[in-house]
Structure 1
Amino acid sequence: MTISIPEVKYIIKILSRSEQHSSIRNEFYSFFSSNKKLKKNRKLYNTVYHLTIEISRKKNWIDEIIRFQNLKIDISSEVNSRLISFYRLMAFLFFEEEYLSNPPDAAYFKRKIPDIFSHTNKKNHRIIASQFDKLMSFSTNNWYDQNPSKIKRLSMKFFHPEWFVEYLSNFWPIDEVEEFLRRNNDPKESDLRVISDNKLNFNQTVENLIEKLKKNQINVDQDSQFRDILHVNSINKIPIISSKPFLNNDIVIQSKISSIISHLLHPMDHELILDMTSAPGMKSSHIANLMGENSKIISVDISKKRIFRLLNNLRKFTNKMFSVVHAEAGYSIPLPFKSNSMDKILIDAPCSSTGIFWKYPDHKWHGKEKIQIYAKIQQDLLIEGLRVLKLGGIGVYSVCSIHYLEGEAIIDTVLDRIELLDPEWGNEGSTFPETIEKKQFSEKIIRYCRRTYSHIDNTDCFFIAKFKKKS
């Protein structure tokens, strides 16, 4: 891959802004949306996107190279955050496996330092150049010689936080941990969900869609258990999003596991259903497709920006009754609904995203402290959901996290108020049986709750519990 100096500058700007403000994806889209002329240059757009996302995904290994070479840089200031972003880009280009066979010209980048850092004086250019020489002397073999720990090596090899690798090693043999980490990095094959409110002619609708997709060179297999899920044997989404069924809102790209969550709620007629964390509306619209004509779904979200996307998707994907509510569910603020008023609830809770690191690579580096923060929000959501759910009402709780603090431990706190139900799907005994401290979870959790794993189920990692309110 060749990379120009303007591209280097754009990457440095996006990386340094993400260091101080928000996620790498948000900064990337924000940068190009404010530079529409640049966005039209597809080669530049794709190159910058690929490199910024990959650097974010492999940040721990890249930063380990910088640390190992003793590049002493304080990233607290904006100038120094640009410096660290420059060194991260260089470490990626020169020391990642895919570039080792044909790395770019180091001398070229060294010569261009004054152009890249035109805002600094010549003295700083000399310092940056000397640090650059130091970075280029890194040896992978030297690093391995000085780091015999299997946990640390796996962390660096598969670009996962060390605490996360150590967490998994409490439950699985190290060989299985390695296989999981490998698969947890891989993009998943696409699944499609058929969008239709019409239950009477549904089979014919699906058959027609499959034929239309074939004409677009998209071969799909219909799921044997859930008829509205189609599996595509490809990770390439471009043919899908340019096909007529997609453009006509007859299908939407949605993973099988996400679609299954709506099915487990088993929407019926004459029901009031609450989706407590709805945006962008994929599950809400799916529930609307599945429910009866006389039912209604209420979709809640905390974000005003996401509410507009939620509303737009519901209007596009269903003609059933729905309402959208902006409320802060799960943040110690009660929902604006009466107690015991909902027939069914879905809590697809915000989480650490440890089960979909391939999709959101920058979430890896939020730190394990985030799990405790999310667990508090999840518990508040579940307690508030139980308040508004009728006695005997049905609920589904789900998270795309592989940590038991966000799954088994959350359900464990309300076992006296709910009856866990058999979801009639997935593998019994797939959950974690105990905590790291060897505290056993209830047999009911092990029997009725479900987990999916990337290395076993070839899908995103989810925890799912279906329950009935008993008090």
Structure 2
Amino acid sequence: MTKYAIRETALELLTRIGEQGGFSHVLLDREITKQNLSRQDGGLLTEIVYGTLQRRDLIDYYIQPYIAKQKKIKPWVRWLLYMSVYQMIFLERVPDHAIIHEAVEISKKRGHKGISSFMNGVLRNVQRKGTQDIEKIEDPIERIAIETSHPRWLVNRWVEQYGLETTKDMCAANNHHLPMSVRVQTLRIDFQEAVNRLEEDGFKVEKSVLSPQGLVITEGAVLKHPLFLEGYLTIQDQSSMLVAEMMDLSEGMTVLDACSAPGGKTTHIAEKMADKGQVIAYDLHEKKAKLVNNKAEQLQLTSITAGQADSRNLKDMHEAESFDRILLDAPCSGLGVLRGKPDIKYHKKEEDIFALRKIQDELFEPIAPLLKSGGKMVYSTCTVDRHENEEAVKNFLSNHPGFSVDQTFFNELPPSLEGALGLSEFGLQLFPQEWDTDGFFLTRLVKQ
């Protein structure tokens, strides 16, 4: 490996993500595997890429006084500046002079002397003179947008929906590392035994407050642990675990998971039913449906059948009133998962929210008749936008008088959620700042 390999790889990835719209989590995982990076190198690469993406607009604001006279800056040069300033300001392990030296050497290698001089000049100015003060921005919405690197339209939208303080806290939380959480496959291993084994191997873990099967890994690389490799644990965010917990499941039920990939919720449903019953899962893409089957196999669950289908056509594939429970984990803008996929906030536009809501409405229509009388349907999304959440539910209920919000849902929520910011008559909105999870919405409807 060359001396600057990690930084050069980070620059390559940032340029691809920032300019061509690549998905950060996909490209990072692929690169770490391809280069077979050690835990330390993989960690540093992830830190630089995610950190730079998360704080792109703030860094741009910081360096504006030093680049304002430069007419045109090549994309890779701009990303090299961003990632270098990110390391200088937000990381403590590497001294400034080493960061500047590496950036100048990479500039020489990729460009010409003019670029390396420019790079050196800007970074030395940041080191010597510091950065411009964020408090100079008087408009509170503009200040949140730049300080937390969220597009102004999004901040504006959230302020209208949730107020200034909640929005500020949510945007700040989106720039913090999301702790990894795992679900224990309790049909195969006792929960406490899994905890003991991890702790014996030097891991630090905390029990989830949202699921009795959930563990938050606060220290240790769980993806390399035998419990994970042998299918006793599966990666799942705590907010996502709450879905199966709130489906009011029993052994022997027939359950539909209409939008199932990659299979975290599907497999959890099967576990909650002790793998007794039938879980029929669909995904729009065949490749993704295979992922669900693979996950079921890995966790040794036999009650799951996953296949490819557009769930808008399910009424042609199943009789009316075929299912005791339905999960509609709808396609959404993903604005609740910015901690793990920071590039989403730069690639999404406001009109995407309305386009996705149209799909959500189109999914509700053919799926609702498939639920048995007295059956229950959970609707969930990994977004924090009211238009895709509360308003989608409200719209469905106004057109389907046979359905209502299941009031027992609120009594069955974990005690830790008492007084949650996002409780309303239409369900529960989880915010990332509250329980250190993704932003997530869920509700449970019942058919009379």
TM-score interval (norm. to shorter): 0.7 to 0.9
- Work out whether 1:306 is the aligned partner of 2:305: no
Post-superposition offset of 1:268? 2.3
Query: Which of 107, 110, 115 is 1:116 aligned to?
Result: 110
Post-superposition offset of 1:323? 1.1
Aligned to 2:24: 24
Post-superposition offset of 1:136? 5.5
1:454–1:390 Cα change, 3 Å: same
Aligned to 1:346: 327
Post-superposition offset of 1:193? 2.3
**Equivalent residue of 1:406, what SS?**
coil
1:294–1:415 Cα change, 3 Å: same
Post-superposition offset of 1:355? 2.1
1:111–1:428 Cα change, 3 Å: closer
- Work out whether 1:319 is the aligned partner of 2:309: no
1:328–1:10 Cα change, 3 Å: same
Structure 1: unaligned runs, 5 residues or longer:
75-79, 433-444
Correspondences of 1:241-252 after superposition (within 5 Å): 241-252=223-234
- Work out whether 1:133 is the aligned partner of 2:94: no
Kept after mapping to 2: 8 A contact 1:431/1:449: no
Separation in 2, partners of 1:194, 1:375? 33
Separation in 1, partners of 2:29, 2:184? 29
- Deviation per CA, 1:4-63: give whole Å up to 9, x if none: 544443333222222214212323344455xx4x33466554433321222111122234
**Equivalent residue of 2:327, what SS?**
strand
Structure 2: unaligned runs, 5 residues or longer:
none
Correspondences of 1:336-415 after superposition (within 5 Å): 336-369=317-350, 370-415=352-397
Aligned to 1:206: 191
For 1:104, give the aligned amino acid.
H
Query: Which of 169, 183, 186 is 2:159 aligned to?
Result: 169
Query: Which of 183, 186, 198 is 2:176 aligned to?
Result: 186
CA RMSD of aligned residues (A): 3.5
Post-superposition offset of 1:143? 5.4
Aligned to 1:157: 147
Q: Which moved more, 1:302-311 or 1:164-173?
A: 164-173
Post-superposition offset of 1:413? 1.1
Kept after mapping to 2: 8 A contact 1:394/1:467: yes
Separation in 2, partners of 1:466, 1:364? 28
Post-superposition offset of 1:247? 3.5
For 1:103, give the aligned amino acid.
D
TM-score of the aligned structures, taking structure 1 as reference length: 0.79
Post-superposition offset of 1:218? 4.3
Post-superposition offset of 1:219? 5.9
Kept after mapping to 1: 8 A contact 2:63/2:122: no
1:431–1:395 Cα change, 3 Å: farther
- How many residue pairs were aligned? 432
Separation in 1, partners of 2:353, 2:443? 19
Higher relative contact order (CA 8 A, sep 6+): 2
For 2:445, give the aligned amino acid.
F
1:431–1:414 Cα change, 3 Å: farther
Post-superposition offset of 1:425? 0.9
Kept after mapping to 1: 8 A contact 2:24/2:341: no
Aligned to 1:56: 53
1:111–1:325 Cα change, 3 Å: closer
- Deviation per CA, 1:308-357: give whole Å up to 9, x if none: 32211111224332211112335x89763344322221112222222222
For 2:13, give the aligned amino acid.
I
Give percent identity, aligned residues only: 20
Q: Which moved more, 1:169-178 or 1:401-410?
A: 169-178
Aligned to 1:439: none
For 1:113, give the aligned amino acid.
S
- Deviation per CA, 1:97-127: give whole Å up to 9, x if none: 446994235467446533122xxxx5xx436
**Equivalent residue of 1:185, what SS?**
coil
Separation in 2, partners of 1:466, 1:171? 22
Kept after mapping to 2: 8 A contact 1:353/1:363: yes
**Equivalent residue of 2:246, what SS?**
helix
**Equivalent residue of 2:305, what SS?**
strand
Kept after mapping to 2: 8 A contact 1:355/1:400: yes
1:55–1:392 Cα change, 3 Å: same
TM-score of the aligned structures, taking structure 2 as reference length: 0.82
Separation in 2, partners of 1:291, 1:243? 27
Aligned to 1:435: none
**Equivalent residue of 1:395, what SS?**
strand
